[in-house]
Structure 1
Amino acid sequence: MPLSESPEHRKLRATLRAVEKLVKDLETHQFDYPGLEGYQITVSPMALGDESDTTPGFFKPCPAHLLLEPDDTYDQARQPASEAPFTKLFEYDYPEYGTTKAIQAKEGQCPHMKAMVYNNLDGKDGQLLRGELLIALRLINAQMRRVRFFEHMTVPVLLISFMFSFMGPQHAWIIEAYYNGSSIVMRPTQLSDLRKKDETLIKTFGQWYLGEPTGDTKVLWQL
């Protein structure tokens, strides 16, 4: 028997759609953290180290020994990423952004999503990009619409966001996003500099992208 959607879940979806529309209609592309509070978006810092108490709440890293070493031989064997037909996850007008890959973290009754994102803007600590916000919101909304997730009140999203502007710096960070019942929570790490190859950093990003989901998503989390 198909699951029926509860009034609480339907209300959550309506709120999330409204926040997405609000962000979509904005002409600003870079947001200082304090300025996001007026759009029902809260920013909370995140760190990835084992010694930190602010690691992602809904994702676990995979063991490092399971990953290949990102050396020059590994790079030569990789093929360029192709564009996948994701709905509304690309913007081709300047400043361009998009999702090169988006996957469900685990098959079955697990709504967690992970995505690799690119932005044609300079990254800056203390700012989030409109493309990052929209992609997170659209992935959350897409999962919330699925009948098999009607029992889930939280859809966690993990973004690995790359920022490359023409002749500018090259940065990346990881963002965990979810809705806590009153606001969209965006949890970015500090920016990492990609102008020089850092094998440890690449492997760390891989651990989190290939890791397992965790957390009870059938309740609203106040993390």
Structure 2
Amino acid sequence: MDEVLARERADRDHKLARIEELIRQTPSQHVEPSDLKAASIRHLPLSLDEDSEHHPHFFNPYPEELPLPEKEDEKGLLEFPPDPKHILWDTRDMEIFFTNHFSNSWEYASDEYPDNPPPSGIYREIGDYKFGQLLESVGFNWYAVTVTEYPEGDYPHFKATLESEAIGDGRLLRGEIMTITDIMAARLRTRSLRSHIIAPMLVISLMGPRHARVLEADFDGEMLNIRASKLYDFSRKNTESAQLITRYWLGGACGQTTIETMKSK
């Protein structure tokens, strides 16, 4: 079984690298459906509403009550209208807003609910992991800025926040896909996670004009499945969406990620 598992993980690592290289060769920030098909990527819908048929497969929202965003943080985010000429200024403002709210919410929930603290959401340095660069700065501008995982338990699940210099529409962005493939492959090479063959990803993707969406991804050995939420507009006060995104950043892990559990389904 160990040899079979090692071969399967190595095969998936190789295929993820191929997908990443195919996306790297695409000519724009937005990846067209034909390029997704050529790279063996399925683009699927995602709804963060729990009663939806398109709910996340590998991540749960944190269920307890959370504080509202700080008024000063909301004021700072909305002080100026979005600037299409400086998209990364707006994404940086969103990243600061969310980072502060994630941190405040994690601390609040950990104190208020000691029997059910957030299982995820603690800030981690990207440099603590053996990832690739997780950015492009020549020709295209995007970069991963924040990551978190599950310190308790043997979970291959991982989360990242990403900024892209692109105006959001229905298409996936190259930075979204390349962040997913790079981190997934690295997780499959992590010795402490060697019993897992699926390394699910949750990505909070920030883009212009001050919009955000949530992606959930898994690789089934043949296809990279990327489920994408609608775009959430933060050019205006949007507390409800901020709370929803925060619940998933702090929330738990679920789903089948090992050969044994997948065979027993």
Change (3 A) 1:155 1:75: same
Asked whether the equivalents of residues 47 and 56 of structure 1 are also in contact (C-alpha less than 8 Å), the reply is yes
In the TM superposition, 1:193-212 aligns within 5 A as: 193-212=233-252
Partner residue of 2:135? Answer: 90
Equivalent position of 1:141 in the other structure: 185
- The alpha carbon displacement at 1:153 in A equals 0.9
- Structure 1 position 43, deviation (Å): 0.9
- Cα separation, 2, equivalents of 1:76 and 1:87: 35
What is the CA-CA distance between 1:29 and the residue it aligns to?
A: 2.0
TM-score of the pair, normalised by structure 2? 0.73
Q: Which residue of 2 aligns with 1:17?
A: 17
- Count of aligned pairs between the two proteins: 213
* Between structures 1 and 2, the one with greater strand share: 1
Partner secondary structure for residue 120 of structure 1: strand
How far did residue 93 of structure 1 move? Answer: 2.8
One of 136, 160, 163 as aligned partner of 1:115? 160
Structure 1 residue ranges (4+ consecutive) displaced by more than 6 angstroms after TM superposition: 76-79
Assess if the C-alpha contact under 8 Å between 2:149 and 2:157 holds in 1.
Answer: yes
Structure number, greater radius of gyration: 2
Alignment of 1:54-203 (within 5 A): 54-65=54-65, 67-73=66-72, 75=74, 80=96, 85=127, 87-125=132-170, 127-164=171-208, 169-203=209-243
5+ residue gaps, structure 1, are none
Q: Does 1:40 align with 2:84?
A: no
- Contact 2:12 2:185 survives alignment (8 Å): no
- Calculate the TM-score normalised by the size of structure 1: 0.85
More helix by share: 2
d(CA) in 2 for partners of 1:118 and 1:52?
27
1:35–1:91: structure 2 CA closer, same or farther, 3 Å change rule? closer
**CA 1:103–1:149: 2 relative to 1, 3 Å:** same
Deviation at 1:25, TM superposition (A): 2.9
* Unaligned residue ranges in structure 2 (runs of 5+): 77-92, 100-122
The percentage of counterpart residues that share the same residue type is 25
Residue pair 1:71, 1:199 contacting (<8 A) in 2 also: no
Q: CA RMSD in A?
A: 2.6
Which one-letter code corresponds to 1:182 in the other structure?
A: E
The alignment partner of 1:44 has SS state of: strand
**Equivalent position amino acid for 1:170 in 2:** R
Q: Report if aligned partners of 1:104, 1:113 keep a CA contact under 8 Å in 2.
A: yes
